[in-house]
Amino acid sequence: MVSAVAEEKIGRFKGGKRHRVVAVSYLNTKPLLYGLLRSDIQEELDLDLAIPSECARRLVAGEADIALVPVAVIPELPEAHIISDYCIGADGAVATVCIYGEVPLAEMTTIFLDHHSRTSVMLTRLLMEEYWKHEVTFLDAEPGYIDQIKGTTGGLVIGDRTIGLDQRFNYVYDLGAAWKEHTGLPFVFAAWVSVKPLEQAFVARFNAALEAGMAHLPELQLLLSSPHPDFDLVEYFTHHIDYHLDDGKRLALGRFLAYVRKSLGKG
């Protein structure tokens, strides 16, 4: 005899197909992924992990239906729907999106741009233009570029690779903190985006799974091992990453995307 719950699950997928989902593979996504993987909704997903730029590429190329993507990709999509009230954001210093250097930023002549994220690259360009008002030559980063950050050459580094770099370089410029000082707003680095409208019932289940993951954040902080002896996971998850896509972040997103569209010649 099939239970009512089982019948609901069977009915949900009868004749249907799983949603192709790709998400950022960094430490800051762990609470969100924890929620998805512990929920029944995982049965509706083909979930894969990748660096931010690859998540963006798959969504643009039509190789994913839903992705946790750097928000700078949104103007490149023919159709974009932000489907969740959860994101990767910050209200001030984010700790893992920074420009590093041996000299002050005002003395830098070139800056490597981390190829992992379009959002952080565009944010760097915006802040150099509007906030720091300092002209430099931007260089496309290639594997191993962190070792080339020396002299008057700085480098944008994002994600887990930033951990421990504050002890290696004398000068560190946190892009989340700089954006906050420049605009007074929080920032959205990545959001859950689909390329077509989704059923409201699915979106509700998806959001409920993410919410459940966030509810388990206190225990996750104990279960996850720190990637560096001096990196405080509790501090990072509770004081640097802000997951709620609230009104302030939506306002900030509009401000940032207007700059992106203008840079792309679409605004």
**pLDDT tens, residue by residue, 79-113:** 999 999 999 999 999 999 999 999 999 999 999 99
Range from 137-151, 173-187, 188-202, 230-244 carrying the lowest mean pLDDT: 230-244
- Which residue, among 114, 123, 119, has the nearest Cα to 67 in the 3D structure? 119
pTM of the model: 0.89
Domains of the chain, residue spans: 18-89+187-248, 97-183
Summary mean pLDDT of the chain? 90
Is residue 39 pLDDT above 50, yes or no? yes
Q: What is the pLDDT of residue 16?
A: 59
Instruction: For 103, list phi and psi in degrees, rounded to 5.
Output: -125, 165
Distances 263 to 71, 72, 190 between C-alpha atoms, Å = 14, 11, 19
Task: Tell me what pLDDT residue 18 has.
Answer: 93
Mean pLDDT of 33-40: 94
- Same topology, domains 18-89+187-248 and 97-183? Answer is yes
Residue 193, strand partner residues:
67, 82
Band of the pLDDT at 6, cuts 50, 70, 90?
very low
Which neighbouring-strand residues pair with 203? none
With 0-12 CB in 10 A as exposed, 13-18 as middle and 19+ as buried, what is 1? exposed
Q: What is the mean pLDDT of residues 199-221?
A: 93
Burial class (CB in 10 A: 0-12, 13-18, 19+), 71: buried
Residue 33 contacts residue 24 (beta carbons within 8 Å): no
Residue 7 is predicted with a pLDDT of 37
Superfamily of domain covering 97-183:
Periplasmic binding protein-like II (3.40.190.10)
pLDDT (mean) for 130-153: 96
Higher-pLDDT residue of 266 and 172 is 172
The C-alpha atoms of residue 193 and residue 56 are separated, in whole angstroms, by 10
CA–CA dist 220, 36 (Å, integer)? 14
88 contacts 114 by C-beta, under 8 angstroms: no
Query: Which CATH number among 3.40.190.10, 3.40.50.300, 3.30.390.10, 3.40.710.10 corresponds to the domain 18-89+187-248?
Result: 3.40.190.10
